[in-house]
């Protein structure tokens, strides 16, 4: 749906009053084209910002009260808290994400002089794995920065969002999601070295193709615990490899070096996790080279290989996303298809020839329902800008 910011401001005024300086902001969700679970393993990622995301309306207060309202969770009503009570609370629901950003601001020496009234609306489908939480974190950071006049770069806002999710909300994510939301650029993906935060914008030129996201409509409950398990298993593998190789991260290794040193990893499962991290990093580098050379065929093959690795070595896929990818691979005109995001449900990202988009949607829609009983959703997406003020 097209989001009307004037209507959001009117809703804000209805809830909180119309006086004072009321400002509107937007932070996008993201889709990662390739480079999955490499961002906390010192590797490369290749995400792009979407034109869907999270909208925020904010007005500063004169006291220390914070009042939140989300149109997506209207049943919760206005959630009130204080700058003196920034602690995680299950009952606080979605507000734990903006609270975590505020807590991180304070922790980093950016003293919040007053509270605020905040209205939120997001058009990222729930549970899709398109980074609604990172979008909300970056949005909150940008609103606080502008409202209270802090001198903070967009890169630092991404790092603040990541820190808050790791340490306030207990999700041990890497930097990719927040970085893409903060630093996105229209019609470009971000080729980011997560070890150094060096990045370049690579134009995504698909003259005869579209990016189509398919939402499996499943999100398995083990996502956060299993995600943290994968991170721990990767760290264990790295420690074993460091006994025989002078490396700081798994991303430091080539495929050949991994094969040379892999027997140092004692645990079979940890070895599989490390294999994915190393090979996926190299795949991402090769995929970006292919895209720059307008070799969409090779780019698509790398995407397919990424899914297979996530399915077999990293084991963050699931039956439903495996079915979606396998169905996509059979449709003429599909360059590549893979699961995207943290895993265990969510979405697949697909590169589909323009002439095949309708066939792709029609074929997968029918076959996925036949195989799973579920109804997938399809989004033909555009690549948008990073977080920004709307007025």
Catalytic residues: 177
- Which of 316, 321, 123 lies closest to 216 in space, CA to CA? 321
Give CA–CA dist 329/350, Å, rounded: 10
* Radius of gyration, CA atoms only, the chain: 21
Residue 62's Cβ-count burial label (10 Å; 0-12, 13-18, 19+) is exposed
Which residues are registered as beta bridge partners of 389?
25
- β-strands 116-122, 65-70 pairing: parallel
Kind plus residue range of the DSSP H or E element containing 118? strand 116-122
Q: Tell me, what DSSP letter sits at residue 219?
A: E
Contact call for residues 321 and 339 (beta carbons, < 8 A): yes
Three-class SS state of 335: strand
């Amino acid at each position: 749906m097209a989001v009307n910011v004037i209507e959001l401001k009117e809703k804000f005024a209805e809830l909180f009053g119309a006086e004072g300086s009321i400002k509107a902001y937007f932070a996008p969700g993201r889709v990662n084209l390739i480079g999955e679970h490499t961002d906390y393993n010192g590797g490369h990622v290749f995400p792009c910002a979407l034109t869907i995301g999270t909208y925020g309306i904010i007005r500063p207060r004169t006291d220390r009260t914070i009042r939140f309202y989300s149109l997506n969770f209207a049943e919760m009503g206005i959630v009130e808290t204080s700058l003196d009570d920034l602690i995680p609370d299950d009952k606080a629901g979605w507000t734990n994400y903006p609270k975590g950003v505020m807590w991180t601001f304070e922790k980093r020496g950016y003293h919040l002089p007053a509270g605020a009234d905040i209205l939120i609306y997001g058009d990222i489908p729930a549970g899709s794995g398109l980074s609604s939480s990172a979008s909300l974190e970056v949005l909150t950071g940008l609103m606080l920065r502008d409202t209270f006049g802090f001198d903070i770069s967009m890169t630092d806002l991404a790092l603040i969002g990541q820190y808050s999710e790791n340490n306030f909300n207990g999700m041990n994510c890497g930097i990719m999601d927040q970085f893409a939301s903060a630093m996105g650029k229209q019609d470009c993906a971000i080729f980011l070295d997560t070890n150094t935060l060096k990045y370049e914008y690579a134009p995504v030129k698909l003259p005869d193709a579209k990016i189509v996201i398919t939402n499996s409509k499943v999100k398995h409950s083990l996502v956060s615990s299993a995600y943290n398990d994968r991170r721990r298993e990767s760290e264990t593998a790295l420690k074993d490899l460091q006994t025989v190789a002078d490396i700081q991260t798994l991303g430091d290794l080539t495929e050949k070096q991994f094969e040379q040193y892999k027997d140092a990893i004692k645990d079979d499962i940890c070895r599989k996790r490390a294999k994915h991290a190393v090979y996926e990093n190299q795949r991402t580098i090769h995929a970006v080279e292919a895209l720059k050379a307008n070799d969409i065929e090779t780019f698509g093959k790398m995407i397919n290989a990424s899914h297979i690795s996530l399915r077999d070595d990293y084991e963050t896929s699931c039956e439903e996303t495996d079915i979606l990818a396998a169905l996509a691979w059979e449709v003429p005109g599909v360059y590549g298809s893979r699961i995207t995001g943290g895993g265990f449900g969510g979405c697949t990202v697909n590169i589909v020839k323009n002439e095949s988009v309708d066939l792709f949607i029609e074929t997968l829609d029918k076959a996925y329902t036949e195989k799973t009983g579920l109804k997938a959703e399809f989004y033909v997406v555009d690549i948008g800008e990073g977080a920004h003020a709307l007025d």
